[in-house]
Structure 1
Amino acid sequence: MTTRSYFLAGFLAAAGALAFAYYLQYAQGLDPCPLCIFQRIAMAGVGLFCLIGFAHGPGVGGRRIYSALAALSAVLGAAIAARHVWLMHLPADQVPACGPGLDYLVDVMPLAEVLSTVLRGDASCAEVKGAFLGISLPAWTGIYFLMLAFGALAGIFGRFTRGRA
Protein backbone atom coordinates (compact mmCIF):
# COMPACT_ATOMS: atom_id res chain seq x y z
CA MET A 1 0.00 0.00 0.00
CA THR A 2 1.23 3.47 -0.76
CA THR A 3 1.41 6.26 1.78
CA ARG A 4 -1.07 8.34 -0.20
CA SER A 5 -3.65 5.56 -0.49
CA TYR A 6 -3.33 4.93 3.25
CA PHE A 7 -4.06 8.58 4.06
CA LEU A 8 -6.84 8.71 1.47
CA ALA A 9 -8.54 5.76 3.16
CA GLY A 10 -8.29 7.50 6.55
CA PHE A 11 -9.67 10.72 5.14
CA LEU A 12 -12.59 8.94 3.47
CA ALA A 13 -13.38 7.04 6.67
CA ALA A 14 -13.49 10.27 8.70
CA ALA A 15 -15.41 12.16 6.01
CA GLY A 16 -17.93 9.32 5.80
CA ALA A 17 -18.49 9.42 9.55
CA LEU A 18 -19.01 13.18 9.47
CA ALA A 19 -21.38 12.89 6.50
CA PHE A 20 -23.42 10.32 8.44
CA ALA A 21 -23.54 12.62 11.48
CA TYR A 22 -24.83 15.49 9.35
CA TYR A 23 -27.34 13.16 7.69
CA LEU A 24 -28.66 12.20 11.13
CA GLN A 25 -28.85 15.86 12.10
CA TYR A 26 -30.43 17.36 8.99
CA ALA A 27 -32.37 14.46 7.44
CA GLN A 28 -33.38 12.57 10.59
CA GLY A 29 -33.72 15.51 12.99
CA LEU A 30 -31.27 14.26 15.65
CA ASP A 31 -29.82 17.48 17.05
CA PRO A 32 -26.29 17.00 18.43
CA CYS A 33 -25.51 17.77 22.06
CA PRO A 34 -22.27 19.61 22.93
CA LEU A 35 -20.37 16.33 23.43
CA CYS A 36 -21.53 15.18 19.97
CA ILE A 37 -20.15 18.40 18.51
CA PHE A 38 -16.81 17.82 20.25
CA GLN A 39 -16.73 14.30 18.78
CA ARG A 40 -17.31 15.81 15.35
CA ILE A 41 -14.37 18.16 15.91
CA ALA A 42 -12.15 15.20 16.81
CA MET A 43 -13.35 13.32 13.71
CA ALA A 44 -12.59 16.39 11.60
CA GLY A 45 -9.10 16.39 13.12
CA VAL A 46 -8.55 12.79 12.00
CA GLY A 47 -9.80 13.68 8.53
CA LEU A 48 -7.70 16.84 8.32
CA PHE A 49 -4.44 15.13 9.27
CA CYS A 50 -5.16 12.33 6.81
CA LEU A 51 -6.01 14.83 4.06
CA ILE A 52 -2.76 16.71 4.68
CA GLY A 53 -0.86 13.39 4.61
CA PHE A 54 -2.56 12.48 1.34
CA ALA A 55 -1.76 15.84 -0.25
CA HIS A 56 1.84 15.81 1.00
CA GLY A 57 2.65 12.18 0.25
CA PRO A 58 5.44 12.21 2.85
CA GLY A 59 8.28 9.84 3.47
CA VAL A 60 8.58 7.68 6.58
CA GLY A 61 9.11 10.53 9.06
CA GLY A 62 6.22 12.63 7.76
CA ARG A 63 3.94 9.60 7.57
CA ARG A 64 4.65 8.86 11.22
CA ILE A 65 3.99 12.45 12.27
CA TYR A 66 0.68 12.73 10.37
CA SER A 67 -0.36 9.28 11.61
CA ALA A 68 0.49 10.21 15.20
CA LEU A 69 -1.60 13.40 14.93
CA ALA A 70 -4.50 11.43 13.46
CA ALA A 71 -4.13 8.84 16.23
CA LEU A 72 -4.13 11.59 18.87
CA SER A 73 -7.34 13.05 17.40
CA ALA A 74 -8.92 9.60 17.33
CA VAL A 75 -7.94 8.83 20.94
CA LEU A 76 -9.31 12.19 22.10
CA GLY A 77 -12.52 11.48 20.20
CA ALA A 78 -12.77 8.04 21.79
CA ALA A 79 -12.29 9.58 25.24
CA ILE A 80 -15.06 12.11 24.58
CA ALA A 81 -17.32 9.32 23.31
CA ALA A 82 -16.55 7.25 26.42
CA ARG A 83 -17.48 10.20 28.62
CA HIS A 84 -20.70 10.57 26.64
CA VAL A 85 -21.60 6.89 27.09
CA TRP A 86 -20.80 7.14 30.81
CA LEU A 87 -23.18 10.09 31.18
CA MET A 88 -25.89 8.14 29.36
CA HIS A 89 -25.63 5.32 31.91
CA LEU A 90 -25.79 7.49 35.03
CA PRO A 91 -28.85 7.08 37.26
CA ALA A 92 -31.39 9.85 36.57
CA ASP A 93 -30.76 11.54 39.93
CA GLN A 94 -27.02 11.85 39.19
CA VAL A 95 -27.29 13.37 35.71
CA PRO A 96 -26.06 16.99 35.66
CA ALA A 97 -28.76 19.58 35.06
CA CYS A 98 -29.25 21.05 31.60
CA GLY A 99 -26.92 23.92 30.89
CA PRO A 100 -26.89 26.64 28.27
CA GLY A 101 -26.21 25.80 24.62
CA LEU A 102 -22.73 25.61 23.17
CA ASP A 103 -23.20 28.84 21.19
CA TYR A 104 -23.96 30.74 24.38
CA LEU A 105 -21.04 29.19 26.25
CA VAL A 106 -18.62 30.16 23.49
CA ASP A 107 -19.95 33.73 23.54
CA VAL A 108 -19.64 34.30 27.30
CA MET A 109 -16.81 32.07 28.57
CA PRO A 110 -13.09 31.64 27.90
CA LEU A 111 -12.26 28.56 25.82
CA ALA A 112 -10.82 26.57 28.75
CA GLU A 113 -14.02 27.09 30.72
CA VAL A 114 -16.15 26.09 27.72
CA LEU A 115 -14.17 22.85 27.39
CA SER A 116 -14.51 22.11 31.09
CA THR A 117 -18.26 22.82 31.09
CA VAL A 118 -18.96 20.72 28.01
CA LEU A 119 -16.87 17.77 29.19
CA ARG A 120 -18.78 17.73 32.49
CA GLY A 121 -21.86 17.14 30.37
CA ASP A 122 -25.48 17.84 31.08
CA ALA A 123 -28.90 16.25 30.75
CA SER A 124 -29.00 16.77 26.97
CA CYS A 125 -25.88 14.59 26.67
CA ALA A 126 -27.31 11.90 28.96
CA GLU A 127 -30.36 11.36 26.76
CA VAL A 128 -30.14 8.45 24.30
CA LYS A 129 -31.29 10.02 21.04
CA GLY A 130 -30.39 7.19 18.70
CA ALA A 131 -29.21 3.60 18.74
CA PHE A 132 -28.40 0.82 16.30
CA LEU A 133 -28.53 -2.85 17.31
CA GLY A 134 -29.21 -1.71 20.86
CA ILE A 135 -25.97 0.29 21.05
CA SER A 136 -26.12 4.08 21.39
CA LEU A 137 -24.68 6.30 18.68
CA PRO A 138 -21.93 7.66 20.99
CA ALA A 139 -20.87 4.07 21.73
CA TRP A 140 -20.68 3.33 17.99
CA THR A 141 -18.71 6.53 17.52
CA GLY A 142 -16.28 5.44 20.25
CA ILE A 143 -15.80 2.09 18.51
CA TYR A 144 -15.20 3.87 15.21
CA PHE A 145 -12.64 6.19 16.83
CA LEU A 146 -10.79 3.17 18.23
CA MET A 147 -10.71 1.59 14.77
CA LEU A 148 -9.32 4.84 13.34
CA ALA A 149 -6.72 4.98 16.13
CA PHE A 150 -5.55 1.45 15.35
CA GLY A 151 -5.42 2.35 11.67
CA ALA A 152 -3.32 5.38 12.52
CA LEU A 153 -0.97 3.18 14.55
CA ALA A 154 -0.47 1.12 11.39
CA GLY A 155 0.73 4.34 9.77
CA ILE A 156 3.25 4.86 12.52
CA PHE A 157 4.66 1.33 12.58
CA GLY A 158 3.75 -0.14 9.16
CA ARG A 159 5.69 -0.34 5.95
CA PHE A 160 4.44 1.57 2.95
CA THR A 161 5.74 2.53 -0.45
CA ARG A 162 6.01 6.13 -1.43
CA GLY A 163 4.06 6.09 -4.68
CA ARG A 164 0.88 7.59 -6.06
CA ALA A 165 -2.51 6.52 -4.69
Structure 2
Amino acid sequence: MRHFITVRNFHLLIAVTSLSLLGVAFYMEYAMGLEPCPLCMLQRIMFFIVAIAATLSALHKAGRKFYLPTIITFAAIGAGLSIRHLYLQSLPFDELPACLPGLSYMFEVFPWQEIMQAMVMGTGECGDTLWTFLGLSIPGWTLVAFTSIVVANLVISIKFSNQN
Protein backbone atom coordinates (compact mmCIF):
# COMPACT_ATOMS: atom_id res chain seq x y z
CA MET A 1 0.00 0.00 0.00
CA ARG A 2 2.84 2.37 0.81
CA HIS A 3 4.18 2.12 -2.78
CA PHE A 4 0.76 3.11 -4.13
CA ILE A 5 0.71 6.44 -2.28
CA THR A 6 3.08 8.49 -4.43
CA VAL A 7 3.13 12.00 -5.85
CA ARG A 8 2.58 10.51 -9.30
CA ASN A 9 -0.57 8.66 -8.21
CA PHE A 10 -1.90 11.70 -6.34
CA HIS A 11 -1.47 13.81 -9.45
CA LEU A 12 -3.01 11.17 -11.69
CA LEU A 13 -6.02 11.16 -9.36
CA ILE A 14 -6.21 14.98 -9.47
CA ALA A 15 -5.97 14.95 -13.28
CA VAL A 16 -8.70 12.31 -13.62
CA THR A 17 -10.90 14.15 -11.12
CA SER A 18 -10.46 17.50 -12.88
CA LEU A 19 -11.22 15.97 -16.29
CA SER A 20 -14.22 14.13 -14.83
CA LEU A 21 -15.56 17.40 -13.42
CA LEU A 22 -15.16 18.98 -16.86
CA GLY A 23 -17.10 16.04 -18.29
CA VAL A 24 -19.89 16.67 -15.77
CA ALA A 25 -19.88 20.37 -16.72
CA PHE A 26 -20.24 19.55 -20.42
CA TYR A 27 -22.99 17.02 -19.61
CA MET A 28 -24.85 19.70 -17.65
CA GLU A 29 -24.45 22.12 -20.54
CA TYR A 30 -25.30 19.88 -23.49
CA ALA A 31 -27.53 17.17 -22.00
CA MET A 32 -29.29 19.13 -19.27
CA GLY A 33 -29.39 22.46 -21.13
CA LEU A 34 -27.74 24.51 -18.36
CA GLU A 35 -26.05 27.50 -19.99
CA PRO A 36 -22.70 28.31 -18.33
CA CYS A 37 -22.12 31.88 -17.19
CA PRO A 38 -18.76 33.66 -17.61
CA LEU A 39 -17.55 32.61 -14.13
CA CYS A 40 -18.46 29.00 -14.92
CA MET A 41 -16.35 29.21 -18.07
CA LEU A 42 -13.35 30.55 -16.11
CA GLN A 43 -13.73 27.79 -13.51
CA ARG A 44 -13.70 25.24 -16.33
CA ILE A 45 -10.49 26.77 -17.65
CA MET A 46 -8.93 26.47 -14.18
CA PHE A 47 -9.93 22.77 -13.98
CA PHE A 48 -8.39 22.22 -17.41
CA ILE A 49 -5.11 23.91 -16.44
CA VAL A 50 -5.00 21.91 -13.18
CA ALA A 51 -5.61 18.69 -15.16
CA ILE A 52 -2.80 19.48 -17.60
CA ALA A 53 -0.34 20.41 -14.82
CA ALA A 54 -1.24 17.31 -12.79
CA THR A 55 -0.84 15.07 -15.85
CA LEU A 56 2.52 16.62 -16.69
CA SER A 57 3.62 16.19 -13.09
CA ALA A 58 2.65 12.52 -13.17
CA LEU A 59 4.59 12.02 -16.41
CA HIS A 60 7.55 14.30 -15.70
CA LYS A 61 9.05 13.38 -12.36
CA ALA A 62 11.89 15.92 -12.51
CA GLY A 63 9.51 18.87 -12.91
CA ARG A 64 7.32 18.25 -9.87
CA LYS A 65 8.82 21.19 -8.00
CA PHE A 66 7.35 23.38 -10.76
CA TYR A 67 4.03 21.57 -11.12
CA LEU A 68 3.07 21.53 -7.42
CA PRO A 69 2.97 25.33 -7.07
CA THR A 70 1.33 25.60 -10.50
CA ILE A 71 -1.47 23.25 -9.48
CA ILE A 72 -1.90 25.00 -6.13
CA THR A 73 -1.95 28.45 -7.77
CA PHE A 74 -4.55 27.63 -10.42
CA ALA A 75 -6.72 25.66 -7.99
CA ALA A 76 -6.59 28.64 -5.59
CA ILE A 77 -7.60 30.97 -8.45
CA GLY A 78 -10.46 28.57 -9.23
CA ALA A 79 -11.50 28.62 -5.57
CA GLY A 80 -11.48 32.43 -5.62
CA LEU A 81 -13.67 32.44 -8.73
CA SER A 82 -16.03 29.99 -7.00
CA ILE A 83 -16.25 32.26 -3.97
CA ARG A 84 -17.03 35.25 -6.21
CA HIS A 85 -19.69 33.14 -7.94
CA LEU A 86 -21.25 32.12 -4.62
CA TYR A 87 -21.23 35.78 -3.55
CA LEU A 88 -23.15 36.75 -6.69
CA GLN A 89 -25.64 33.95 -6.05
CA SER A 90 -26.23 35.32 -2.55
CA LEU A 91 -27.12 38.82 -3.77
CA PRO A 92 -30.73 39.97 -4.12
CA PHE A 93 -31.86 40.18 -7.75
CA ASP A 94 -31.81 44.01 -7.82
CA GLU A 95 -28.15 44.13 -6.70
CA LEU A 96 -26.80 41.77 -9.38
CA PRO A 97 -24.53 43.19 -12.09
CA ALA A 98 -26.11 43.78 -15.49
CA CYS A 99 -26.56 40.84 -17.81
CA LEU A 100 -24.39 40.94 -20.89
CA PRO A 101 -24.77 39.35 -24.31
CA GLY A 102 -23.45 35.83 -24.87
CA LEU A 103 -19.72 35.19 -24.89
CA SER A 104 -19.63 34.41 -28.62
CA TYR A 105 -21.10 37.83 -29.39
CA MET A 106 -18.80 39.51 -26.89
CA PHE A 107 -15.74 37.92 -28.54
CA GLU A 108 -16.86 39.38 -31.87
CA VAL A 109 -17.63 42.91 -30.65
CA PHE A 110 -15.92 43.77 -27.34
CA PRO A 111 -12.19 44.30 -26.68
CA TRP A 112 -10.62 41.35 -24.86
CA GLN A 113 -9.94 43.46 -21.74
CA GLU A 114 -13.67 44.13 -21.27
CA ILE A 115 -14.47 40.48 -21.87
CA MET A 116 -11.97 39.37 -19.22
CA GLN A 117 -13.26 41.95 -16.74
CA ALA A 118 -16.84 40.82 -17.31
CA MET A 119 -15.84 37.18 -16.93
CA VAL A 120 -13.93 37.72 -13.68
CA MET A 121 -16.43 40.10 -12.09
CA GLY A 122 -19.40 38.04 -13.23
CA THR A 123 -22.63 39.10 -14.82
CA GLY A 124 -26.29 38.91 -13.88
CA GLU A 125 -26.62 35.34 -15.11
CA CYS A 126 -23.89 34.32 -12.63
CA GLY A 127 -26.41 35.04 -9.85
CA ASP A 128 -28.79 32.34 -11.08
CA THR A 129 -28.78 29.04 -9.18
CA LEU A 130 -29.70 26.53 -11.87
CA TRP A 131 -28.88 23.28 -10.07
CA THR A 132 -28.19 22.09 -6.53
CA PHE A 133 -27.11 18.82 -4.96
CA LEU A 134 -27.14 18.28 -1.18
CA GLY A 135 -27.86 21.98 -0.72
CA LEU A 136 -24.84 23.20 -2.71
CA SER A 137 -24.99 24.90 -6.09
CA ILE A 138 -22.49 24.25 -8.89
CA PRO A 139 -20.01 26.92 -7.68
CA GLY A 140 -20.32 25.49 -4.16
CA TRP A 141 -19.22 22.09 -5.44
CA THR A 142 -16.44 23.61 -7.52
CA LEU A 143 -15.22 25.38 -4.37
CA VAL A 144 -15.14 22.03 -2.57
CA ALA A 145 -13.18 20.50 -5.47
CA PHE A 146 -10.69 23.36 -5.82
CA THR A 147 -10.13 23.51 -2.06
CA SER A 148 -9.58 19.75 -1.95
CA ILE A 149 -7.01 20.03 -4.75
CA VAL A 150 -5.17 22.81 -2.91
CA VAL A 151 -5.17 20.87 0.39
CA ALA A 152 -4.10 17.62 -1.30
CA ASN A 153 -1.20 19.37 -3.01
CA LEU A 154 -0.13 21.10 0.19
CA VAL A 155 -0.10 17.67 1.87
CA ILE A 156 1.85 16.29 -1.09
CA SER A 157 4.40 19.07 -0.89
CA ILE A 158 4.90 18.56 2.86
CA LYS A 159 4.71 14.76 3.04
CA PHE A 160 6.69 13.99 -0.09
CA SER A 161 9.14 16.90 -0.08
CA ASN A 162 12.09 14.51 0.20
CA GLN A 163 10.78 12.24 -2.56
CA ASN A 164 12.09 12.79 -6.09
Report the counterpart of residue 28 of structure 1 in structure 2: 32
Partner Cα separation in structure 2 for residue 63 and residue 45 of structure 1:
15
Structure 2 unpaired stretches of 5+: none
Report Cα offsets for 1:17-48 as digits up to 9, x if no partner.
11111111122111211110110000001101
The root-mean-square deviation of aligned C-alpha atoms, in Å, is 1.6
Report the counterpart of residue 116 of structure 1 in structure 2: 117
Partner Cα separation in structure 1 for residue 8 and residue 123 of structure 2:
41
* TM-score under structure 1 length normalisation: 0.89
Report whether the alignment pairs 1:72 with 2:73. yes
Partner Cα separation in structure 1 for residue 54 and residue 112 of structure 2:
26
Matches within 5 A, 1:3-152: 3-58=7-62, 62-152=63-153
Partner Cα separation in structure 1 for residue 153 and residue 120 of structure 2:
25
* SS of the residue 2:27 aligns to: helix
**Bigger mean CA offset, 105-114 vs 139-148:** 105-114
Q: Is the 8 A contact 2:54 2:71 kept in 1?
A: yes
Q: What percent identity do the matched residue pairs reach?
A: 33
Q: Is the 8 A contact 2:38 2:118 kept in 1?
A: no
* TM-score under structure 2 length normalisation: 0.89
Shift, 1:149, TM fit: 0.9
What amino acid sits opposite 1:140 in the alignment?
W
Shift, 1:144, TM fit: 0.9
Report Cα offsets for 1:51-106 as digits up to 9, x if no partner.
11112122xxx223201101111000011111111001111111112112112222
Structure 1 unpaired stretches of 5+: none
Q: Which has the higher contact order (CA 8 A, sep 6+)?
A: 1
Q: Is the 8 A contact 1:39 1:81 kept in 2?
A: yes
Partner Cα separation in structure 1 for residue 107 and residue 149 of structure 2:
29
Partner Cα separation in structure 2 for residue 153 and residue 103 of structure 1:
37
Give the number of equivalent residue pairs.
159
Q: Is the 8 A contact 2:18 2:47 kept in 1?
A: yes
Shift, 1:161, TM fit: 4.8
Q: Is the 8 A contact 1:64 1:155 kept in 2?
A: no
